[in-house]
Amino acid sequence: MTGTPGGASTGAVGLVLARPTRLLGVEPFFMEFIAGIEERLAERDLSVLLHVVSAQDAEIAAYRRWAARGLVDAVVVVNRTEDDRRPAVLREVGLPAVLVGEPDGDLPAVRTDDTAPIRAALEHLVAAGHRAIARVTGPAGLLHTQARTTALLAACAEHGVVPAIVEGDYSEESGAKLTAALLELDEPPTAVLYDNDVMAVAGLGAAKERGVEVPGGLSIIAWDDSTLCRLATPALTTMSVDVHRFGELVAESVLELIAGGPVADRWSPAAVLVARESTKASPA
């Protein structure tokens, strides 16, 4: 079933975010992403039907409800996971979907290359003499977290480096706590790569609290650029993604899908290294 029972447009494209609502206000990524989607949808008088839930079960329940009641023309599926049950459910209920990240069978996807950016970040650190490198990841069940981990391990192996990889949840709390733990290791890292901006800025705070200077004693690279990174002291080096453009690209696939057309294969904008003040030569 597509759209309302009558076949007319519902005026909406669904987006379910399965994460703690309190995290939404903190991490700029999704609001920028939604703003990018909206920019394209608004040209066709479409809006985003946004639903925030705590877990994938509730997300699937929302899809079933939306499909049964014809509430959306299509949905955008984010944060692809291991054993992701959503593509099968969406096929079953006949809800048109654009996957963001890993493709699944015949469903259109907007893919992301995590390998090249991870290699760029690592080269930046290795070139500055760093050998003790850590990474604070997002949730390990997310496919893009796994893709970055695989890429980092491969790139590090080429340099004979064994990175310390610890799992965070994108929150300020996890960024601070995990950075503190890393700095207490017998051989603490001289550089940390974070999977988002919030954890990186919180890690900067944790380092300062312990009297570890950034970048004098510790280099920091964030992921996703934002006001947080630009206005931090020191300003953070980051892997910058044009998140707004990312949202626009996803919307373009959605519009092609709703139009019944073929949907072009799209890749999200590549993350590029923006070097600022938080990285420098290893103190070792």
Amino acid at 43: E
Amino acid at 210: R
Could you say which of 198, 218, 220, 241 contacts a copy of itself (CB under 8 A)?
Answer: 198
Q: Which residues contact 8 (CB under 8 A, 6 or more apart)?
A: none
Length of the chain: 284
- Does residue 215 have a cis bond before it (omega within 30 degrees)? yes
> Which run of H or E residues covers position 156?
helix 143-158
Does the footprint of a copy of itself cover residue 47 (CB under 8 A)?
A: yes
Tell me the window of 66-74, 92-100, 101-109, 113-121 that interacts with a copy of itself (CB under 8 A): 66-74
Count of residues near a copy of itself by CB under 8 A: 51
Amino acid at 38: E
Does the footprint of a copy of itself cover residue 136 (CB under 8 A)?
A: no
Contact 204, 236 (CB under 8 A): yes
Q: Which residues contact 7 (CB under 8 A, 6 or more apart)?
A: none
Choice between 16 and 165, CB closer to a copy of itself: 16
Tell me the window of 39-47, 116-124, 145-153, 157-165 that interacts with a copy of itself (CB under 8 A): 39-47
Could you say which of 2, 71, 111, 210 contacts a copy of itself (CB under 8 A)?
Answer: 71
Interacting residues with a copy of itself (CB under 8 A): 10-12, 14, 21-22, 24-26, 28-36, 38-39, 42, 45, 47-53, 58, 62, 65-66, 69, 71, 172, 198, 201-202, 204-205, 208, 226-228, 230-233, 243-244
